[in-house]
Structures are given as C-alpha cells and as structure tokens.
Amino acid sequence: MEDEEGSRDFATYVVWSLSVTAILLLLLPMIFVIGKSTQYSAYSQDGDYEGLAQLSDMRDSLEEKPDEYFVANTMSTPMLVNDWKYPHRTMLLIIAPEKPIDETEADSIYDFVTERGGKVIVAADDTNANRLANRFGVTYFDAPLLDENQYYVTEPNNDGMKEYSWSNVWSVGTFEEEAADAGNDGCSTFEISQYNDGCALPVLFRNPTGLKFEQTEMDRDDPDHRLVTRIAKASPSAFIDLAGNGDSSDYRNPAPGDLSLMIRVDYPSVSVYDKVRSGQGSLVGGDTGELDVTGSIVFVSDPEAFSNLLWDDQVGEEYGIPKICEVEGAYQSCWNDEFENTEGSQWNGNEDYFKLLIHSMMEFDNQKLSGEVKDDFSNFQIVFDESRHVTGIVSAPFVEAMGTVVLLTSNTFLKWLVVLNVGLLLLVAMMIVPEKENWRHVFDLTRFAERPNKLDPSSYRQRVQQALFTKIRVHHDLTRDEMALMEPSKIQGMIGNPRLVELAYSKEKKYSPQELRELMKAIRRWGGAK
C-alpha cells in the first residue's frame, strides 16, 4: 500500500513540474514584450507615427515593377542563411535588430558572405549588431552621431517654424567607390532607371550613430583578400555624443574626424555553382557550371534611413524634410554643393539610393551568369530578418519556441550536445538506480517505490562511524587494507578532533539523534581548508 502511494506522489510531482514549466514557457515571453511595439518591420504598419518607423514602403517598392524581387522573411533565426537555395542570389536585410545578434548567428552570416557569396545589409544605431560587425572589422558606437556641418533643417508642421538638429545628418552615398569629398556626379533619372552605379546620390539619416573600421589580422596578412569601402561618411567635425550633452568641445565626446555612416565590404572570387551562359556548362547533361561571385555586406549606421519616413520623398516632404538643402547656419553645408549636375543634387527619397545599392551588390553584372537568370529579378531573393524584432504578445511564445527549435536543429554542435545529454541522463539512471538496494525498480524511469524497510535507529551511530572512517581513508588516499593495518593511535592522530576521536573509539559513549546530526556536520567540515 505504501509503495503505491509513493508511486502516485512521484507521478504527481512530475506532472506538476511539467505543467509549471509549460506555463512559464508561455508566460515569460509574453511578459517580456508587454508594452513594446514592433518597429522597423516590413510587415507592420499600424498607427500614424509607428507607420513612419516601418519598412512596408521599402518592401512594396522592391516587390513592384520594374524590380519585382522575390521578397520573403525569416521569423526564427538568420542561422539558416547557408541552407537557402542560391545564397549568392539572396540578400538578407537585418534592419534595426532589437535583439542582439549572438555568436552563432554572426558566424553563420560571416560564412554566408565569405564562403557562399551571400549579400547582407545591416542597419543599426546601437551595439546589437556588433558581434557580427566585429567579424568584418567594423564597430558600431552606442551613442548618437552629431554633425554640425552636414545636417539638414526640417519644417515638421509646415507652419514656417523650422527645427535645427545636428542629428539630422545627410551624406553623399556612392555604391562601389569611396565617398568623394566634392564634385560627385549625381545620378540622373536616366542613370537611375538604367541602374548605373557609377554616380552618387544624397542619403538622409535621422539619429544615426557612427561606424569605425579597423584592419583585421587577415587584412594585414593578405591585403587583397577583400575590398573595404566607405560609401558614406560624416564630415570631419562630426562627433559621438557619449556624454549626452551635444557639446563638440567635451573631451568625453570622441571626434576622430573619419566617422563613417555606411561601410561596404566585398569578397570577390567566391566559387559557386549556378546556370552559366550557353556553352560554358561544365556538368554532364546541363548548363550548370562553376563561376565566381562576390560576397558583399554593407553596414549602415541608422535603420531609419530605410523607414517609410525617409524612403519616399513625398512622405518626407509632408513631414517637412527638404528635397533641396538650404544653408541655415554658419557652419552648415548642403549636399547640393557636392554635386556637379543639378538633377542629381535633389533628394528624391532614400529609395533611389538603396535600390541602386541592392542592384549593385547582386550578380546582375556577372558576365558568366546565364542571361535567363539575370534578366528576371524574381530569380533574386530579398529576405527581411523579422526575428530581431519584438513580436506580438500572443505570438511571442510560439515565435521563441520556433527559434529555439531551429537553433537546436540547424546547429550541429547544439544538436549533438542535446543528444549526448539525453544519453547521459539515461545512462546515469541505469547505473545508479540498481545500486539502491532498498529501492525497487518498477520498469519505469519516472516511478520508484519507497524503501520497504525502515532503518533501525540503533544502526545510526554505526553509520556515522563508517562515514568518518571513509572520509579519513579517502582524504589520505588509503586503500581499505592499508586503513585496516594502521594502529589506532596513528588514526587518532590523523583525526585530530577530540569529539570525532571519541565517536570512532569510545564504546561507552551514548549519542542522541541530535548529537549524531551535529557530528555528521563536523565530519563534513573535517579535512577542509586549514
């Protein structure tokens, strides 16, 4: 009867433990996202203000003519990039990561670019992307960049009241060449329609941070293994407002004079297999062959550069963002002065620039790639990373669970680590349970019967003595035979504690259960630090 009650109690504990665990797995993700809203998502456009901080306009323009890329999203983790079909024809957009990119994800994306020829754009204004950026020698600052020279003036209410902010930064954006200091050839409407990336366009930012680049060890060993280009930069007067006081003369606000706003890194000559031009196929019975592609990644210092507010010039104009820059301050300069041609000096939204940048990073100019592939934009994929954004309260548990499953199954190390742990648990259960001579195994690892025989109180002292002698033998690294041959006086000297000596050799001393418990504590402490 007692065995059955014990089995039911153990089963009850197991059920309650599993229930509490399941409830916590559901509630904790929901608690973490309460009061948080999703921003910079390509699939969210709720609310007027929040709608301006979304990427829905960007997604729509990439799906529409004349581009019509194949647009998708990933909700679990960017670790899967190397499993995608034709990674060299795929671009991953990580814009405003609200959750830090971890080490495993950073390694996967690094391999995606350097070994698979993948394309990536990362846009952040904090350190959430630094694990990935540091792989390429790039670092994001964790404070706003202020530029007293390259800023633009807004008129948000269109009432004549202008707002001046050094955090409204502009820059001249190039595509494959270093950002020139002056005299850039601005992209004309015709050049934009023809995807000519040999020109430049104005790019607007709001509250960007700064980027710095430092050579890696591989750069020093092999300077030609990649090409690093600053395709947009701040003026030499720009500084990072670490102190939060907006004071350019404060020594705590670094102003190195070469802060970047966008950095592009290209890895040429990555070998892949794809459809090649007629007559160049190398595989039997097909037109698939080996060709060299370029893996590319661009780091952008402000996710808002892609937002609805700055993507379309008409939306920006409604909120007082100028299409033509005008000098308002003594130290302010204008992007108009940086261009030789008038047509290219007008800001028509960041859309023109980033669509040309994406086209420049893809393989449209690869002369060995089949024209059948190059002529159809839908053969090129653009994937928005939605896993870095805060999800809805109801969907949060399921998104986190999906991400965990993908993490475990897509990472070989973690997958085998889980399998090994499960195997070790089963092995421990099989090895330990049979050694408990007073326990009865009932062919179920989740159920054990109680001890059928209670311990005799008269044996308590003997058990405590045995524990003492075992502790002495193990402490001095003795075998049982060596211990048995030792003289009692020598063992007493090894014990040292008078109370424990009395326990070991006195036959007349009687101990209460409380005294035996105290002696057990002394045995545990015996042999410790001296």
Question: What pLDDT digit, counting tens, does each position of 341-383 carry?
Answer: 777 778 999 999 999 999 999 999 999 999 889 999 999 999 9
Of the pLDDT bands very low, low, confident and very high (cuts 50, 70, 90), residue 436 is: very low
The burial of 424, by beta-carbon neighbours within 10 Å (0-12 exposed, 13-18 middle, 19 or more buried), is given as exposed
In this predicted structure, what is the pLDDT of residue 1?
Answer: 47
Domains of the chain: which residue ranges?
A: 1-35+400-454, 37-389, 457-525
pLDDT exceeds cutoff 50 at 402: yes
DSSP string, 295-364: EEEEEES-GGGGSHHHHSHHHHHHTT--SS----SSS---GGGGBSSTGGGS---HHHHHHHHHHHHTTT
In this predicted structure, what is the pLDDT of residue 514?
Answer: 84
In this predicted structure, what is the pLDDT of residue 285?
Answer: 47
In this predicted structure, what is the pLDDT of residue 409?
Answer: 55
For the segment 418-433, the average pLDDT, to the nearest whole number, is 67
Q: Give Dmax (Cα) for the chain.
A: 110
Q: Quote the tokens at residue 91.
A: 């671009």
d(CA 57, CA 351): 9
Tell me the torsion sign for CA atoms 503, 505, 506, 510: positive
In this predicted structure, what is the pLDDT of residue 115?
Answer: 93
Of the pLDDT bands very low, low, confident and very high (cuts 50, 70, 90), residue 161 is: confident
How many other CB atoms are found less than 10 A from the CB of residue 523? 20
Question: What pLDDT digit, counting tens, does each position of 276-297 carry?
Answer: 987 666 554 458 888 999 999 9
